[in-house]
Every structure is written in C-alpha cells, then in structure tokens.
C-alpha cells in the first residue's frame, strides 16, 4: 500500500469509489500525520478527530456520496462551520459558533468530503501572520492568508484544503509551500458564509497536491464536469509575462522563468513573450484602492467596537482604507472594468500566460507572510490562476509559477497547468 499521505486525491478518490479502500483508512493516515507534525507546524485552528471518524464510518457504511467521497478536507477558518468554531483568525471571535455551514462547506460535505478541522488563517485573512510555519523550513513563512491550508497539504496532513484570495492568499502560500493552488474565475464558487473582506475581489479556491486534485475539488463543488475530468492539453501556446511588477522579483524567479521557457519549448509548447498593455500599469494601485474602500466598510463593526483587539497592521490598513474617497474608488473600479474588457486581446497569441507566483521563495522569518505584489493584478482582473512548483530557490525552498487564463476558461487553464506541471514540476 502506498503512503496515503502522499497519494494524489484523485487517485484516492477512485479507490474509495470502487471500494478498494475505506474512508476510515484514509482518514487514519491523515490523523496520524497530523498528530505527528502539528505540534511543530501549527496548521490547524481546530481539530475534531472523533467527529471525522464518525463521518468516515458513515461513508463506508453507505453509498458513494459524490466525487469527493471519503477525502479528508481542511476548511480555512474564514469559512463558517455549524459543527466547529469559526474565529476568522481573530480573538474577537474566539469560540464563535455559526448557525450553519458556508455554502462551499455544505457542498463539500454533500460531495462526500470529510471535514477534519479548520486550518489557520491570518487575522481576517489580511497580513498579520499567524503561528503556522513553512513545512520545508520552520524558520520561513508559509505565506498567507491561507497559511494553514497550504502547510497542511504540503506536509501530507490532508490532500485537499480550501483557500480564499483577495490579494494573493491562495497562490502565494501554495507557491511558498511547494503545492498547487487554484484561484478560479471570480464568482465560480459561492462566498455565502465566508467572512467578507472585499465584494469585488474575494475568491474561493483550492489548495492541493496536483492540478487534477484542485480541479476535482472545485469542479465537484460547482457541478462542472469539465473540471472533474480534465481534458488533455496538446502542445499549448504559452505567453511568458513578466508583468509591470517584475522589478519586485528576486533572481530565482528570473532563473525559473528562463528555465521554464526552455523546458516548455523543448517539450513542444509554443513559447512567446507577452507584455501587458501600458494601461495596465496602474492596476496595482487600483486594486489597493478597491480593497481599502471595501474592507474598511466590511470590517466596520470590528473597527468600531473592537479596535483595540485588532493588530496594529490591520488597524493601519483599515485607517488607510477609510481615507479612500468614493470618487477614488469609482475611478479604480472603472480602470479595472476597462482592463478586463481589454484583457482578451492579450491572449490573441497564446492560450495562457505564465507569470511569477511570488517575488521569490518564502522569505526567512515569521513576522511577514511575504509580498503579494505578483498576485494583485490577476485577482483584480478576475481570471483563473493556477500555481505549480517548478524550481527551488537559493535556500532550497520551492519556487512556483502561475498559469493564467481567460476569464471563464478554467478548464483549459487547468489542463495547460497540468501539462506544464508534468514537464517542469518540482513537487
């Protein structure tokens, strides 16, 4: 028997559906790994092994529930759960018990997933770090805000976990931890029951071991068969895109991009250089204005009534957001709208773009979750993004690149990401 803590979720799911494997056995392997590693990793905000065991027993005794039947799942603690506390990464909500599950959690349970517990998020999914460490080196950040989800999947604790992204909170931690992160097209998955930061930006997605696994999870939750069973990509056209924020990257990113260009061309892909329009240069600032304006209002209650329990970093973010005028907000939204309308032209000569997932490997220290600058524009543009590990940096930590597709073209974006990962994958 293979080590179930390292087998892809799609492979385990097939065994579970054919009854070659019991959900209880898959779960026990996950729980043993968690028990051994959690004291050092701090990936979990809440665990309920006995409840998970009862779920596994019920699944083994009944019919196959769906595509995620028997798969252990981590739920980011930004998402409401009726049977587990949800604190949103803040002491303000310690012990908080929602009345119902977030829509995506309910869908995951209906598809047969076993919710093992709640993975650590940074404070309200913003920038103040939590206790989670990078499983590759405990002295380095795992990224954020989906810190616990990325660390738990990378360490073999669970094969699948939820992430959310408002700036770079799926792609960045997945890249830092050397796993696959998938931010779907904006609006693909419901945000009902997920703590709202920005109605214009918040996106629910998946962190997994393989591209197939991430596609399976999201496809099962939104009823898209083309994601559950991805088509094969054939010699894709790939546009290397360094973006207007390239100056922020470290040397290992240039090395990874250059190696990817050579490797993909040798494997049969058509590789070209793609530059974003000059009009896209202000999009990073536009993202900041939209985020600031919306988060200051969506966390208005916490700011008004629990300001002293917010981190200084979050207070500064909310104070700055409160200074964004309605006129400035409207200009930023108009700029985003125009850029989304112009974006299809960027794909005229390629199927997908390939861009840096982060500014480099995970930085040393736990005082920051890293710089999300390489993610904000793609989040603002509402396009699907898939990060895959392709290299290692000077400290021996993973370096990822993200595959970016047209809005709504998730199936092809994932298929090309799988093609790239199979040929370049470092994890």
Tally of domains in the chain: 3
Beta carbons within 10 angstroms of residue 251's beta carbon: 10
pLDDT digits (tens, 9 = 90+) for 370-379: 999 999 999 9
pLDDT beyond 70 at 427: no
The model scores a pTM over 0.85: yes
> How far apart, in whole angstroms, are the C-alpha atoms of residue 210 and residue 376?
23
208 and 80 both lie in a single domain = yes
Yes or no: say if 86 and 118 are a contact pair by the CB < 8 Å rule. yes
> How far apart, in whole angstroms, are the C-alpha atoms of residue 342 and residue 334?
12
Residues near 237 by beta carbon (within 8 Å), at least 6 away in sequence: 269, 270, 272, 349, 350, 351, 352
pLDDT digits (tens, 9 = 90+) for 39-73: 999 999 999 999 999 999 999 999 999 999 999 99
Return the half-sphere exposure (C-beta side, CA atoms, 13 A cut-off) of residue 259.
Answer: 19
Residue 84 domain-assigned (yes or no): yes
Question: Residue 161's pLDDT band (boundaries 50, 70, 90)?
Answer: very high
103 and 143 both lie in a single domain = yes
pLDDT digits (tens, 9 = 90+) for 75-134: 999 999 999 999 999 999 999 999 999 999 999 999 999 999 999 999 999 999 999 999
Q: Which of these, 101, 122, 108, 40, lies nearest to 74 by C-alpha position?
A: 108
Yes or no: say if 213 and 203 are a contact pair by the CB < 8 Å rule. no
16 and 58 both lie in a single domain = yes
Which helix (DSSP H) or strand (DSSP E) does residue 180 occupy?
Answer: strand 180-183
Yes or no: say if 55 and 114 are a contact pair by the CB < 8 Å rule. yes
Indicate the DSSP class of residue 306.
-
88 and 23 both lie in a single domain = yes
Catalytic site positions: 76, 145, 169
pLDDT digits (tens, 9 = 90+) for 242-254: 999 999 999 999 9
- What is the domain range of residue 310? 283-338
Yes or no: say if 132 and 147 are a contact pair by the CB < 8 Å rule. yes
107 and 247 both lie in a single domain = no
210 and 349 both lie in a single domain = no
CATH no. for residue 106? 3.90.1300.10
Q: Which two tokens stand for residue 153?
A: 């999947």
Mean pLDDT, range 272-301, rounded to an integer:
98
Domain boundary residue, one of 338, 360, 384: 338
Yes or no: say if 152 and 43 are a contact pair by the CB < 8 Å rule. yes
pLDDT beyond 90 at 163: yes
Yes or no: say if 16 and 56 are a contact pair by the CB < 8 Å rule. no
């Amino acid at each position: 028997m293979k080590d179930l803590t390292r087998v892809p979720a799609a492979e385990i799911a097939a065994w579970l559906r054919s009854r070659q494997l019991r959900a209880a056995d898959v779960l026990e392997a996950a729980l043993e790994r968690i028990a051994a590693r959690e004291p050092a990793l701090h990936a979990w905000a809440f665990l309920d092994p006995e409840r998970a065991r009862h779920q596994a027993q019920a699944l083994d005794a009944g019919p196959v529930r769906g595509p995620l039947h028997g798969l252990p799942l981590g739920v980011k603690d930004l998402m409401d759960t009726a049977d587990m506390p949800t604190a949103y990464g803040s002491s303000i909500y310690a012990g908080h018990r929602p009345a119902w599950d977030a829509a995506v959690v309910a869908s995951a349970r209906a598809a047969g997933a076993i919710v093992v517990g709640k993975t650590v998020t940074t404070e309200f999914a913003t920038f103040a770090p939590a206790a989670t460490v990078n499983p590759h080196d405990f002295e380095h950040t795992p990224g954020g805000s989906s810190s616990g989800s990325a660390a738990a999947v990378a360490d073999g604790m669970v094969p699948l976990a939820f992430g959310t992204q408002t700036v770079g909170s799926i792609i960045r931690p997945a890249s830092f931890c050397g796993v696959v992160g998938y931010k779907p097209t904006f609006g693909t998955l419901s945000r009902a029951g997920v703590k709202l930061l920005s109605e214009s930006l918040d996106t629910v997605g998946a962190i997994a071991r393989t591209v197939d696994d991430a596609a399976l999870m999201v496809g099962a939750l939104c009823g898209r068969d083309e994601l559950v069973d991805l088509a094969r990509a054939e010699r894709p056209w790939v546009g290397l895109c360094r973006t207007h924020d390239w100056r922020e990257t470290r040397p290992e990113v240039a090395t990874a991009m250059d190696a990817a260009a050579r490797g993909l061309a040798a494997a049969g892909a058509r590789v070209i250089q793609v530059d974003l329009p000059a009009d896209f240069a202000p999009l990073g600032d536009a993202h900041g204005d939209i985020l600031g304006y919306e988060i200051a209002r969506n966390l208005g209650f916490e700011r008004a009534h629990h300001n002293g329990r917010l981190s200084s970093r979050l207070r500064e973010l909310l104070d700055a957001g409160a200074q964004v005028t309605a006129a400035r907000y409207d200009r930023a939204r108009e700029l985003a709208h125009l850029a989304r309308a112009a974006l299809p032209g960027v794909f005229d000569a390629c199927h997908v773009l390939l861009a840096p997932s982060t500014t480099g490997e995970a930085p040393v220290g736990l005082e920051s979750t890293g710089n999300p600058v390489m993610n904000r524009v793609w989040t603002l543009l509402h396009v699907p993004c898939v990060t895959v590990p392709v290299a290692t940096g000077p400290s021996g930590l993973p370096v990822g690149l993200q595959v970016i597709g047209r809005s709504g073209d998730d199936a092809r974006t994932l298929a090309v990401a799988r093609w790239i990962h199979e040929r370049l994958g470092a994890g």
